[in-house]
Amino acid sequence: MLDIKFLRENPEIVKQNIRNKFQDFKLPMVDEVIALDEESRKTITEASNLRASKNQLSKQIGALMAKGQKEEAENVKKQVAENAARLAELEAQEPVLQEKIHKLMLQIPNIIDPSVPIGKDDSMNVEVQRFGEPATPAFDIPYHTEIMESLDGVEMDAAGRVAGNGFYYLKGDIARLHSAILAYARDFMIGKGFTYFIPPFMIHGNVVEGVMSQTDMDAMMYKIEGEDLYLIGTSEHSMIGKFIDQIIPEETLPQTLTSYSPCFRKEKGAHGLEERGVYRIHQFEKQEMIVVCKPEDSMDWYEKMWRWSVELFRTLDIPVRQLECCSGDLADLKVKSCDIEAWSPRQNKYFEVCSCSNLGDAQARRLKMRVKSEDGKNYLPHTLNNTVVAPPRMLIAFLENNLRADGTVAIPKALQPYMGGITELVPVKK
């Protein structure tokens, strides 16, 4: 969410940013906010003046009564009553105006970084660089659920009977591999100096509003019926949410946090064949990295964070690339974002496995997070987040890139300690 003072003083910058994000339907919101803000400030000023005049008029009534000027005193009393009625009207009007402004401000997108490429949708995202040589083996690579089934590691039909489409049972070596990847990712981030967390998996509505846009909320979040609780779509939600209404001592920055959680997402809409299986699902688990830092440091952290994703995937022998997200593909709170995509030798293309984002001070403003500096002044920190790993989608990249012609799956050295020392997975079904 933008600072309303910035919007008030720079309406054309805000409008151009909206155009750059191809959201022209939001352009009238800027003028509407400015008009409501002007009305709100006039209301506050008038109410303040009426409160200030109250004592003065009361003294005037006392003086007139002391002089025996009852008629004049009654006229002043009428003025006091009229002022009180008007003040009550203004005090009732003010929260209504503020609520209207707040709802509009939640919909106006954050100002994107000048380095973000301008484009309408994800088809215009820009490849920046590749890491590792993408290769397609001479043998055919089965669909990922077929690889898992050959290892007796997945039950999709049973999950469908229990919970419907978008769910799965993992078992045996595949379930173990899933947990091993998460444990490896956890220790990888601890090794980078991050503090490990297991956060709440449900959050209140005001936290949801603070960490994500209304559009993303409607498309993603599951609400608990009859309660002010939502299932998290990622642990970023509860990890950033923990700072709501808090004043953070500057000496504790940067705060570098890594968190494990299950994630729950609606994933509305129809999807293609390659997004079935365990690719696009309603429930998965993820290791996340979160940074809260000084504004001047956030771009340095952004660079570090996406590079750590690359480093982790390369230790697991998975080729990846960095893809710069264009303006139209950025969620409204984001200043800058990139995806890390893993190579799929089955599809001969890359697919998203990580998303790194700098949200500037948008979440901090919504959540009323503040930092107290050494001179005693408060300011808004910047927040960033990035996926470390998100199996089971990450398992697709792992299995495809480590599959051998005989159906075995190699376990890279980095992961072997988390798999009890085994060096390969061997098919049990032909």
**3-41: per-residue pLDDT in tens?**
999 999 999 999 999 999 999 999 999 999 999 999 999
Rg (CA), the chain: 28
Q: Quote the CA–CA distance of 330 and 119 in Å, as a whole number.
A: 10
Place 430 in a pLDDT band, splitting at 50, 70 and 90.
Answer: low
Nearest to 405 by CA among 117, 78, 147: 147
What is the C-alpha separation between 115 and 299, in angstroms, rounded? Answer: 11
Domains and CATH numbers, the chain: 4-107 (1.10.287.40), 122-425 (3.30.930.10)
Mean pLDDT over 361-380 rounds to 95
d(CA 200, CA 294): 26
**Where is average pLDDT lowest: 63-77, 229-243, 261-275?**
261-275
Q: What size, in residues, is the chain?
A: 430
Q: What is the pLDDT of residue 429?
A: 60
Q: Average of pLDDT values for 331-341?
A: 96
Q: Which of 60-69, 70-79, 155-164 has the highest mean pLDDT?
A: 155-164
Neighbours of 38 (CB within 10 A): 11
User: What's residue 51's pLDDT?
Assistant: 85
Q: Which pLDDT does position 118 carry in this prediction? A: 98
For the segment 158-180, what is each residue's pLDDT rounded down to a tens digit?
Answer: 999 999 888 999 999 999 999 99
In this prediction, residue 217 carries a pLDDT of 75
Tokens of 154: 């997945």
pLDDT at 268: 57
- For the entire predicted model, the pTM comes to 0.90
Strands 255-264 and 195-197, bridge-based pairing: parallel
Peptide bond into 11 cis (omega under 30): no
As to burial, measured by CB atoms within 10 angstroms (0-12 exposed, 13-18 middle, 19+ buried), residue 224 is exposed
CA distances from 208 to 2, 132, 360 (A): 17, 38, 17
pLDDT for residue 278 is more than 50: yes
Q: Which residues contact 233 (CB under 8 A, 6 or more apart)?
A: 212, 220, 221, 263, 264, 265
pLDDT at 61: 67
Label residues 296-328 b or e (16+ Cβ within 10 Å = b).
Answer: eebbebbebbbebbbebbeebbbbbbbbbbbbb
Q: How confident is the model at residue 271 (pLDDT cuts 50, 70, 90)?
A: very low
So what's the pLDDT on residue 317?
93
Sign of CA dihedral 177, 182, 183, 188: positive
